[in-house]
């Protein structure tokens, strides 16, 4: 789902950079520094999950795990995802530095949204916890795909078919991410509940 260098227009890149900068500033203020290790672990999980990918035009299909990162971190997911994307860009040339802001918006902003939508389901019951995780994983990928498509479309209307292809290609990923996130959240609630921001 990384957007490569040289694909997007200047205004789209600038808009992404501004939004990513603002989101990162908010995220840094929201980080609970007593639990900074949780942020590091989840950023690492995101980093590793995104390494295995299949290229489709200017984008790629792969597990992302932004749903679980957002579900557990809220706004702190933005600097966590930014750090992982920056390292991927520098070490493996995934995405690129000029597209970093847009890639952060595409992957981190849906993560924050699912935190507020589905966090209240965590801890209510095993079934609701799994459902909350599943929806967080699925919806985060769906929204990321849509944002990616919009970034391409705003760059050039001729990217419409490419955008549609990217969204359709991510439908299996949405389902897989949902299942993985649901099981991960359910497991974490049993073995390490401190990492789950349960809202009573």
Q: What is the pTM of this model?
A: 0.85
Q: Among residues 191, 88, 105, 180, which one has the least CA distance to residue 136?
A: 180
Asked whether residue 103 carries a pLDDT value surpassing 60, the answer given is: yes
Q: Is residue 5 part of a domain?
A: no
177/86 Cα distance (integer angstroms): 22
Structural domain contains residue 106: yes
Determine, yes or no, domain membership for 4: no
Within a domain: 3: no
Does residue 2 sit within a domain?
Answer: no
pLDDT tens readout for residues 36-57: 888 988 888 888 887 766 555 5
The pLDDT value given to residue 69: 93
Please give the average per-residue pLDDT across 54-74, as a whole number. Answer: 75
pLDDT at residue 60 tops 80: no
In a domain, 197, yes or no: no
Would 199 be classed as within a structural domain? no
**Average pLDDT score over residue span 59-78:** 84
Q: Name the domain count of the chain.
A: 1
CATH of the domain at 66: 1.10.1760.20
Torsion of CA 74, 79, 85, 88, to 10 degrees: -120
Which band of pLDDT confidence, cut at 50, 70 and 90, is reported for residue 200? very low
* Domain that residue 84 falls in: 10-192
**Is residue 108 situated within a structural domain?**
yes
Q: How far, in Å, are 76, 145, 181 from residue 57 at the CA level?
A: 31, 14, 27
């Amino acid at each position: 789902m990384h957007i490569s260098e040289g694909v997007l227009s200047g205004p789209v890149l600038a808009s992404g950079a501004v939004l990513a900068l603002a989101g990162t500033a908010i995220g840094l203020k929201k980080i609970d520094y007593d639990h900074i290790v949780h942020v590091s672990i989840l950023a690492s999980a995101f980093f590793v999950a995104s390494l295995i990918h299949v290229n489709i035009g200017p984008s790629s299909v792969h597990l992302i795990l932004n749903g679980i990162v957002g579900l557990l971190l809220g706004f702190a997911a933005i600097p966590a995802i930014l750090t992982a994307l920056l390292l991927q860009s520098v070490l493996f040339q995934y995405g690129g530095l000029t597209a970093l802001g847009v890639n952060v918006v595409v992957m981190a902003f849906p993560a924050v949204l699912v935190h507020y939508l589905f966090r209240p389901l965590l801890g209510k019951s095993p079934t609701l916890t799994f459902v909350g995780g599943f929806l967080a994983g699925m919806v985060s990928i769906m929204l990321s795909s849509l944002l990616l498509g919009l970034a391409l479309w705003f760059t050039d209307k001729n990217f419409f078919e490419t955008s549609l292809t990217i969204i359709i290609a991510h439908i299996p990923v949405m389902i897989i991410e949902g299942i993985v996130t649901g099981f991960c959240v359910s497991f974490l609630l049993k073995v390490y509940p401190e990492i789950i921001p349960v809202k009573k």
